[in-house]
A and B are shown apart, each in its own frame.
Chain A
Amino acid sequence: MSEAIKTDVLIIGAGPCGLFAVFELGLLDMKVHLVDILDKIGGQCAELYPEKPIYDIPGIPLVTGQGLTEALLEQIKPFDPTFHLNEMVESIEKIGDPGFRVTTDAGKVFECKVVVVSAGGGSFQPKRPPVPGIEAYENTSVFYAVRKMEQFRDREILIVGGGDSALDWTLNLHPLAKRITLLHRRDDFRAAPHSVEQMRKLVADGKMDLKIGQVTALEGADGKLSAAQVKGSDNAMSTISCDTMLPFFGLTMKLGPVANWGLQLENNLIPVETASFETNVPGIFAIGDINTYPGKLKLILSGFHEGALMAQKAHRYVYPDKRLVFQYTTSSSSLQKKLGVN
């Protein structure tokens, strides 16, 4: 186990609500680390709708998902939060009153006074394509992510999808693999044009195969894949021989480990009281889409409000001897100093 990272507050989930919480906590002198399973900051806004417009952020008539993420990052810059991406929080253990030890799937350990769960709809995880019986091959022949490329040396690989992940892994694994077939439902790709070009060149040179169609069934036994049945765009059935399949069908949100943290749950949401958005465990707060209370609206603006109130109560845990004085950013010189504008 690596040495624990000590911080005032650990935020689980770097979506818009987790990000704005950094601001509210920072104004009250609390240091923050954030963990997110995604490889990028911004939660749903960055992963699901980076280019789509949002019209209901107070005071901002129109901003895209990505634009909002960037603006929030700019806003919290003075507080210098540390991000730990590509990591999923697995466990929370109580070590103080309050005080917590939080562990990620990468083995990182945090020790903090306060935990803020802003986990949205849960952690983003790869979508399982609805091919009958696919579960039986998962982690033996079917993989949704590539952790170690070496694992795929000399394999006969079927990569399914038309986005950047599918194309990038086609190009990266091609030198190692025995043979690669890329399968996509149409001869048009979402992926970056230069990777599509590279792929087409490999196909033209006879170094890999490109097939158009969709997987309908898998063949094999005991978790060992031997072939995939494919329906072409002309409805003709064919078989692709393969011992490994890598489907890339995007991400979906699954509650994941949040269910194992000893927090009360109601329909996969965490009930909180509405004065500070604290959970049934003192010192653990839940804000944004993951929480529930009478009248809850799953809107970004609600999560912002929740973050502000949460920070007031968190301050009592982090600085039990300090009294909080209510201040405006407009007029308080001490707040402005923290923001680096004075």
Chain B
Amino acid sequence: MTKINFVDHSGETRTVDVENGATVMEAAIRNAVPGIEAECGGACACATCHVYVDEAWTEKVGKPTPMEEDMLDFGYDVRPNSRLSCQIKVSDELDGLVVTVPERQA
């Protein structure tokens, strides 16, 4: 099991366990982490699973694909460390990952 930390916009952290291969979005939905809506169920078609990747992790998590960039256009307050959490696959490398949930989804 890999640990993922979700920080809400007030600064409170929630830590959840998820198996490798699942996505960060799935980790949030299965554990009812508030602020992640994931309307399209992870198809990179809604931009309601937007998160900010903690600066310490951006390199490991990597950059969005062009398709994800296109979808991020629909997000709110998109920043250089913005990602769609349904497009981040969990692996051992990401154990302890910290992401912040934006104030609101699109």
Contact = CB atoms under 8 A, between A and B. Distances in A.
**Majority secondary structure of chain B interface residues (helix, strand, loop or mixed):** loop
A185 B78 contact: yes
B57 interface: no
B45 A162 contact: no
A52 B73 contact: no
Nearest to A48: B45
Please tell me the size bucket of the interface on A.
20 to 34
Interface string B63-84: 0000001101110111010000
B74 A249 contact: yes
B43 interface: yes
A303 interface: no
B104 interface: yes
A162 B74 CA distance: 10
A222 interface: no
Interface in B25-80: 40, 43, 45-46, 69-70, 72-74, 76-78, 80
Interface residues of B, number: 15
Binding site secondary structure of chain A: loop
A161 interface: yes
A185 B73 contact: yes
A321 interface: no
Given A48-B45, A130-B76, A130-B106, A190 B70 contact: yes
Given A162-B73, A184-B73, A185-B73, A214 B104 contact: no
Given A184-B73, A190-B70, A52 B106 contact: no
A293 interface: no
Nearest to B80: A233
Contacts of B104: 130
A146 B74 CA distance: 20
A178 interface: no
Nearest to A253: B39
Contact of A127 (B40, B70, B74, B77): B74
Nearest to B102: A130
A190 B73 contact: yes
Interface of B: 40, 43, 45-46, 69-70, 72-74, 76-78, 80, 104, 106
